[in-house]
Structure 1
């Protein structure tokens, strides 16, 4: 059981496309204004988990689907990288903030697919904890907690961001581009 929770916490709190966008949104607009993005990510993660529950075997055995998701995911990450690079702190930049952005980010997030396919299929837990709806709910809640924590972290460093936004945006842009390329390894 501890291996499952270690896996879920590591996957939920380590940097990925969703946590980076949550942090940027927290920096640019604060926690409260970033709630729509986070709720979109929560709904997207929940839908992703349901797809994982329903189609886990098919997803694991269909390389064409994985390739299509890599194309969609990397294209979307590059789109987000472009908008991150051109954004400024004074703008009301919606590219990092809406419900739809959060949901689409999760639905195209390969890390999220791997999170659910591995978490739901590779770990056997004791008793009620092994029921698929319980594991799904735990994974969605802990995964969403990760994005909320990164949003708070982003808000805490907003003053630093406003002063050094160009350097920070360039670093985040490069991280998003790296994530888009890393999908293909």
Structure 2
């Protein structure tokens, strides 16, 4: 059981496209204004988890679907990277703030699909925790805690961000570009 929770926490709190966007949103808008983005990620994560639970075998055995998801995910990550690169503190930047952005980011997040396919399929827990809906709910809630935590960290770094936004935006842009390329390994 501890292996499952270690896996879920590591996958939820380590950097990925969703956590980077949550952090940027926290820096640029603060926690309260980032709630829509986080709720979109929560909804997208829940839906992604349902698809992972229902179609795990098919997803693992259909390379065409994975290729399409990689294309869509890479394109979307590059779109977000561009908008972060050109953004300045205090600008209204819709690419990092809305419910739809959070949901779309999650639905194109290959790391998220692997999170659910592995977490739901590879780990056997004891008792009620082994029930698929319970495992799904735990993974969605812990995964969402990860994005909320990164939003809080972003807000805490806001003063630093405003002072060094060009460097920070460049680093985040490069990390998102790396994530887009890394999908193809």
How far is 1:94 from its partner?
1.2
Q: TM-score, normalised by structure 1?
A: 0.99
Q: Say which SS state the counterpart of residue 30 (structure 2) adopts.
A: helix
Structure 1 distance, partners of 2:107, 2:70, is 12
Q: Look up the match of 1:11.
A: 11
Q: Look up the match of 1:101.
A: 101
Structure 1 distance, partners of 2:96, 2:159, is 18
Q: Say which SS state the counterpart of residue 124 (structure 1) adopts.
A: coil
The 5-angstrom pairing of residues 20-35 of structure 1 reads 20-35=20-35
How far is 1:90 from its partner?
2.0
Q: TM-score, normalised by structure 2?
A: 0.99
How far is 1:72 from its partner?
0.5
Deviates further, 115-124 or 90-99: 90-99
- The root-mean-square deviation of aligned C-alpha atoms, in Å, is 0.4
Q: How many residues align?
A: 185
Q: Look up the match of 2:41.
A: 41
Q: Which runs of 5+ in 1 are unaligned?
A: none
Q: Which runs of 5+ in 2 are unaligned?
A: none
Q: Say which SS state the counterpart of residue 31 (structure 2) adopts.
A: helix
How far is 1:92 from its partner?
1.3
